[in-house]
Amino acid sequence: MHITDIMRANSPTFSFEFFPPKTPEAAETLYQTIRDLESYMPHFVSVTYGAGGSTRDLTHHLVERIQHTTKLDPIPHLTCVCHNEEEIQPILLRYAKSAIGNILALGGDRPAGIAYDKSRESFQHAIDLVKFIRRFNESGAHPERRGFGIGVAGFPEGHPATPNRLVEMDYFKAKVDAGADYVVTQLFFDNRDFLDFRERCALRQIHVPIIAGIMPITSITGCKRMAELAGGTRFPATLLRALQHCQNNPEMVRRVGIQYALEQCHDLLDNDVAGIHFYTLNRSDATRIIFDSLGIPRHPNTPVSTV
């Protein structure tokens, strides 16, 4: 379904993010997670996109598998890095043929371990990919009249590559105005950053829905990996203090992380957030506990998927 219709019919939205598994064991974990979470009937799920060729195919396959074998509405991520127009066009055609409704258009993380020269890229920034998808939509190649709904990333704490926050907002405004229908944010641990970002967007006349990205911490190792991946993320003292108290007790760390994320969700809902997007890391337990505590009902009659 086009994201505009999803957002119009559901406020707030709840959604999950998965990444394509690389091994048969990881695939089993993910498919079990999908089966576990499907009965919450999230408004959409999204699938990340890697920098290398084979992992990219895994994304396309996973998106199509979710589309064809579950009740879930998958949104593929698509990135600029290491792609040219001749490569993006067939991917869009393939997704259009599978009636995929939306795409999250991203700059993409720099590929690790391969020589990479950004200046030679066809798409320099996510805005170029947004414009390209927009042109694809106008070509009428998608079965839905409006074409793909288009999402973009937002960074409540700022993106590390643009330290000037005023200039960054200019780039962000241009990206949204190029044709974005919604924004999903980078994870954050202090809701004031999200609320301030939303206010700054409103001041710049950015009025598309802004969905908050939430990642519950479930281990100290995961927390450190997250700090590496989402460079620049602030870890507030309240959170660090709570984690420090129980750092040698993995179960308590998990509980503290989930409780912290739950409180973030309650506060965001009190502040009329347009949606909450959970970075699940392909596991269902933390998200299930949060959903149950938020009082989001399961739909026991949801047909068990064959994914």
Looking at 36, 121, 144, 168, which residue binds ligand FAD (CB under 6 A)?
A: 168
Does position 170 interact with ligand FAD (CB under 6 A)? The reply is no
| 125-133, 220-228, 248-256, 281-289 -> range binding ligand FAD (CB under 6 A) | 125-133
Instruction: List all residues 6 or more positions away from 138 whose beta carbon is below 8 Å from its beta carbon.
Output: 147
Within 43-82, the residues that bind ligand FAD by CB under 6 A are 48-49, 77, 79
- From CA 47, how far away is CA 67, in angstroms rounded? 12
| 30-38, 89-97, 155-163, 268-276 -> range binding ligand FAD (CB under 6 A) | 155-163
Does position 107 interact with ligand FAD (CB under 6 A)? The reply is yes
In the set 17, 121, 168, 251, the catalytic residue is 17
Indicate the residue among 109 and 292 with the shorter CB distance to ligand FAD: 109
Minimum Å distance from CB 217 to ligand FAD? Answer: 17
Residue sitting closest to ligand FAD (CB): 107
- From CA 59, how far away is CA 306, in angstroms rounded? 18
What is the secondary structure of 234-249 as a DSSP string?
A: ---HHHHHHHHHTTT-
Classify 13 as helix, strand or coil: strand
Does position 125 interact with ligand FAD (CB under 6 A)? The reply is yes
Asked if 28 is an active-site residue, the reply is no
Does the CA dihedral 49-10-184-295 come out positive or negative?
negative
Within 279-298, the residues that bind ligand FAD by CB under 6 A are none
Indicate the residue among 35 and 173 with the shorter CB distance to ligand FAD: 173
Question: Quick count: other Cβ atoms within 10 Å of Cβ 301?
Answer: 6
38 within 8 A of 71, measured Cβ to Cβ = yes
| 156-164, 188-196, 217-225, 257-265 -> range binding ligand FAD (CB under 6 A) | 156-164
Task: Give φ, ψ of 45 to 5 degrees.
Answer: -130, 150
Indicate the residue among 186 and 280 with the shorter CB distance to ligand FAD: 186
Binding footprint of ligand FAD, residue count (CB under 6 A): 21
The encoded tokens of residue 8 equal: 């119009």
Minimum Å distance from CB 97 to ligand FAD? Answer: 22
Within 207-266, the residues that bind ligand FAD by CB under 6 A are 213
Question: Quick count: other Cβ atoms within 10 Å of Cβ 32?
Answer: 14
The encoded tokens of residue 28 equal: 């089993």
Minimum Å distance from CB 150 to ligand FAD? Answer: 12
Burial of 264 (0-12, 13-18, 19+ CB in 10 A): buried
| 37-45, 82-90, 94-102, 161-169 -> range binding ligand FAD (CB under 6 A) | 161-169
CA distances from 265 to 12, 94, 181, 296 (A): 11, 36, 23, 12
* Contact set with ligand FAD (CB under 6 A): 48-49, 77, 79, 106-109, 125-127, 153, 159, 161-162, 168, 171, 175, 184, 186, 213
Catalytic center residues: 17
